[in-house]
A and B are shown apart, each in its own frame.
Chain A
């Protein structure tokens, strides 16, 4: 009993001490409404696109990026400030337009650039050579080749973006259709869907239709074993881009003519915004999108049906189209040194692995391998077989991704295939000057 009393006394003392600490903790300083500059005041400005928000949904692609940025912030003791722009409608300046303006006026330090802007800004000398980064050695060769302009590595991606066709397997099965391998098979599928009451079998927007073109026209170029020579011939004017492009544009024209694509709607639609809801509602059996869209809740990450991602139809079968959106550093950046350090960390194996694991994407680092989701398996299988075409190639003097996109828009707006080919010829001539 005496022992118990002793224990109780000790317990009382501990409780009293706890209560004192508790009470003192209550007197902690209150937070301020306005906070002054945090950390050591160092800031790096980053300009990137922002998908339109959805209620109560996280953009996991953005989350993965945030995680890698957080690593850099923690290691460097600075803050990366995000700036963004999204066009309200097709009439407004595009993200790429704004990016070009901002980069040329050195408003930001780091830019997330689409392939065409990489080539444009790289050739204009607005982008810093990133080959000085120590993590460059981890990159795959295809990544380096795609982002080298005038001998300078002007951009580095966090993921290798593979574009493919997202198909509703259930609808295909319902109409006894197999995933199409060739353009003819694709047209046949569209015909069957159309005849069965699906008004527009292919959901499209104004950005990604050129993937049909790339898959068809460059299937042999990138997979025929004579790539360098053929590109050299194009750069020298020995061969014409229009000769390559024609079949692809004619194929698109056929899709438009047969009503498999709503050209009018596509020409003013932003990516996923227009065609996404119909695809998810199973009204449209086929859309096109990038790899991560299969994992992102904001895109096609959680469909109510069985979905598969396959390559675009080509004479060589289903063909993934690889494109590289990359981070570029403004050559006149206000915080260039800090920005370089941020990029070095963001592109480290650790960060790229975190990014790839989170987004389930193909990493640009040869040291990072990630298992893909089942839906992406067909597309992944082709890439693993080294069967793909590049949507952008800085080695080509005529920028492909942006220009083709613009010319496809013209086709959507009523231009003929010949007019479109003439535009390619013009661009090629300009490049030869």
Chain B
């Protein structure tokens, strides 16, 4: 259809073009014929004009001759009246026209002239018989003045008797004053020629080019290359018959019109030529004007066409733009509609899932509550039911947390809290959470840190933690019992010296994922399988949250997976390296400048060496115990510390420990690197100044370990498990406006042997604390959202109280505001710890214990 329309347009264009060509052809033909006609008519007119001009000159010359003849007759009459005619002649003064008067008396051959010379007719040739007003006129001759002249003679008659002949000599120069200065603007050549001698006798002023001074007709022919015999014969014939003649001939390569114009019956001729362009100037001008008009019209036409064309083009462009815009809008609308439909579908699906997911644990809670009411007397069943109710409640809680998290990320309200953290803490905290989960499924959990140059970094630790927990908990979740999970932190080549480039890999050999699912794994509200049919429960939001956080940090996440073979998640992130670390100071202070790292895992040794050198300590590596011993033998005092990989194959760890210890001075620490599940460590720890360092290796951990060993506490810490006193005997002040929560809290704490006093809002809590004796309360449990005064304000008020323990008393936030931002705000208000509701008693116990212990130790 489109092609047909295009073809139609081309056809239309061609026919339009042909029409224009036709119109212009007709117009051109008309203009050409008009121009030709005008040229022809104007040429004829120009020739006519030239003829008239020549006639005018001819008339002028003939009038001069006529007047000369008449004047000569008058003089003759006057002479006749004189008694002494000769005296009259002698007394005559020549003028510019009549340069010589002569008189020959009848019957004499000699006469007199006004010049005083004797005059005879000899030398004057009247044989041609030419006359002016019946007076004979001689052939032209060069006179005594050196110019061309002619003489007319007339009889002097007295009483009817001729008494003498009067000869008057005229010069051609006198014609000049009566002739035009320029003929055709000086472009026309004009000579006066004596017809009989064919001698050019005058070239009037301004008549033609001045470097052309022709001698006679022959010279004129020769100079202008008029050599055609027929032309010359025709001219001769015309001159003979005293006729005028005009003929076209090229003169000096210019097409010219040559003229021979008879004057005074052919005694004198006007000879010359004029270039055609000079006489046809008018026709040329007219044609030029026609041409100009045509050009102007064509120009105007083409300008109009151009304007029309560009306007059309502009309109087409605008139309196309509008169409494109409309198309974009339509597409966007369609996409929006599709997205909305998809979202709706997803939400519907999600709601369906959530409905199921929420109802399932809720059903369990309510069901077991019912069962609990029935079997209240049976302690075993009660414990079993409460355990299941707790599990269902925790699942319900994680569902709610994830939903809220996604909602917040998607609405762009998440702000990263960038602070300094150590990879050691990060790995430790993740390990602490994941390892028990993995152990619960008999899975092997491997942690590796490689090639990381900087351990202290700037970033949002909470969110990184969230990423790692999500990935690792999924790995645990989607890996069968007895499987393996690898958690690797790999230092990549730095793109900038200010940033540490890290890749986090989480790999498992679990169920794996289908390619189809991989495409949507990072979309919200998706799960590997529909949760209604899957035993694995979850919100389907974890990966979406993870991806969003990674991208928020400017990183990337990708995944590779194969069904029944496992999955590999890779997260690449860049963290800013904090400035001014004090690691160097630590080593200097402790006198450690060079260490020895021994182990069969060369990659591990090299990694440790790099990390140590980054922190300012030189390090040597040894491939095994033997090599290490050799180095120590060479110079044991050279090394301030020896790190030794427990998994050393050559001589056995215990034996190696013994020999190394012997080789080292007692003051130099010997530390064994080991994994959690290493055996035989107890034996090694019996040696003095010897300790264990858990993998993965971190410089900060090494530093802490060294400090511990210096304090002599390491052994106790490594072997003795701290006594768990629980919360027994502790006194809490709890600010909680919700009575049920307050009751639950009171009950839980009382079960743990602690006392809890409830304040209904922040204000009351502040007042109560201010009235309490110092040390009356061990800690304050602070709800956040409360009437009268919220938890933040209350905390600030407490911290601001003028009492010694106001700044020290632990304040623990216990709030339903569970986001990282909430935690941040709580801490900034002066609280020590943030715990989200519902209260996890174990967690509360741990936190309280840590705070109390810290306070005691300080």
User: Which residues on A are within 8 Å of B, measured CB to CB?
Assistant: 1-2, 4-5, 8-9, 12, 15-16, 19, 22-23, 25-28, 30-38, 43, 50, 52-56, 58-59, 62-63, 66, 79, 81-86, 88, 92-93, 97-105, 107
Contacts and interface: CB of A to CB of B under 8 A. Distances in A.
B303 A15 contact: yes
B212 A26 contact: no
Given A19-B300, A52-B219, A107 B173 contact: yes
Given A34-B53, A50-B213, A97-B146, A12 B303 contact: yes
A293 B654 CA distance: 129
Interface in B194-239: 199, 203, 205-206, 210-216, 219, 222-225
B146 A53 contact: no
29 contacts: A1-B317, A5-B310, A8-B306, A19-B300, A22-B295, A22-B296, A23-B296, A26-B289, A27-B289, A30-B282, A31-B185, A33-B53, A34-B53, A34-B182, A34-B183, A35-B181, A35-B206, A43-B205, A50-B215, A52-B215, A62-B211, A63-B211, A82-B210, A92-B142, A98-B142, A99-B146, A103-B146, A105-B146, A107-B145
A58 B252 CA distance: 11
Contact of B310 (A4, A16, A28, A58): A4
A1 B142 CA distance: 82
Interface string B137-165: 00000111111000000000000000000
A12 B285 CA distance: 27
Nearest to B313: A1
A16 B186 CA distance: 37
Nearest to A103: B146
B328 interface: no
B215 A88 contact: yes
A66 B146 contact: no
A58 B185 CA distance: 22
Given A30-B282, A58-B211, 13 more contacts: A1-B313, A4-B310, A5-B314, A8-B310, A25-B292, A31-B184, A34-B183, A53-B223, A54-B222, A85-B142, A88-B199, A88-B216, A102-B146
B398 interface: no
Contacts of B253: 56
A19 B181 contact: no
B465 interface: no
Nearest to B211: A62
Given A35-B185, A55-B222, A56-B253, A84 B295 contact: no
A63 B210 CA distance: 11
A66 B211 contact: yes
Nearest to A28: B285
Contacts of B222: 52-55
A53 to B, nearest CB: 3
Contacts of A86: 213, 215
B787 interface: no
B281 interface: yes
B314 A53 contact: no
Contacts of A31: 184-185, 281
B145 A105 contact: yes
Contacts of B212: 53
Interface in B281-306: 281-282, 285, 288-289, 292-293, 295-296, 299-300, 303, 306
B712 interface: no
B407 interface: no
Contact of B146 (A28, A56, A107): A107
Given A12-B307, A63-B211, A101-B145, A33 B299 contact: no
A99 B211 CA distance: 19
A24 B433 CA distance: 98
Contacts of B303: 12, 15-16
A19 B296 contact: yes
B180 A35 contact: yes
B352 interface: no
Contacts of A82: 210-211, 213
A334 B256 CA distance: 37
A107 B295 contact: no
Contact of B186 (A35, A58, A101, A102): A35
Contacts of B299: 15, 19
Interface of B: 49-50, 53, 142-147, 173, 180-186, 199, 203, 205-206, 210-216, 219, 222-225, 252-253, 281-282, 285, 288-289, 292-293, 295-296, 299-300, 303, 306-307, 310-311, 313-314, 317
A8 B308 CA distance: 11
Nearest to A98: B146
Contacts of B314: 1-2, 5
Contacts of B184: 31, 33
B174 to A, nearest CB: 12
B577 to A, nearest CB: 51
Nearest to B297: A19
Nearest to B197: A88
A106 to B, nearest CB: 9
Contacts of A83: 203
A88 B213 CA distance: 13
A101 B145 CA distance: 5
- Interchain residue pairs A-B with the least CB separation, the first 3: A101-B146, A53-B223, A35-B182
B825 to A, nearest CB: 54
A271 B145 CA distance: 25
A25 B285 CA distance: 10
Contacts of B211: 58-59, 62-63, 66, 82
A264 B314 CA distance: 93
A191 B281 CA distance: 63
A23 B292 contact: yes
A431 B584 CA distance: 133
A1 B310 CA distance: 9
Contacts of A54: 222-223
B285 A102 contact: no
A92 B197 CA distance: 13
A272 B212 CA distance: 19
A2 B225 CA distance: 64
Given A8-B307, A16-B303, A38 B145 contact: no
A385 to B, nearest CB: 36
A356 B224 CA distance: 29
Nearest to B50: A33
Contact of B205 (A52, A81, A88): A81
Given A5-B314, A35-B181, A38-B182, A56 B206 contact: no
A85 to B, nearest CB: 7
A73 to B, nearest CB: 11
A373 to B, nearest CB: 23
B146 A37 contact: no
B782 to A, nearest CB: 66
A36 B303 CA distance: 45
A36 B179 CA distance: 10
Contacts of B185: 31-32, 35
A104 B115 CA distance: 14
Contacts of A55: 222-225
Nearest to B198: A88
A77 B665 CA distance: 124
Contacts of A28: 285
B321 to A, nearest CB: 10
A330 to B, nearest CB: 12
A101 B115 CA distance: 14
Nearest to A85: B146
B27 to A, nearest CB: 17
Contacts of A92: 142
A247 B828 CA distance: 140
A9 to B, nearest CB: 8
Q: Which of B203, B292, B295 has the most CB of A within 10 A?
A: B292
B316 to A, nearest CB: 10
A108 to B, nearest CB: 9
A38 B300 contact: no
Nearest to A63: B211
A422 B314 CA distance: 106
A37 B313 CA distance: 61
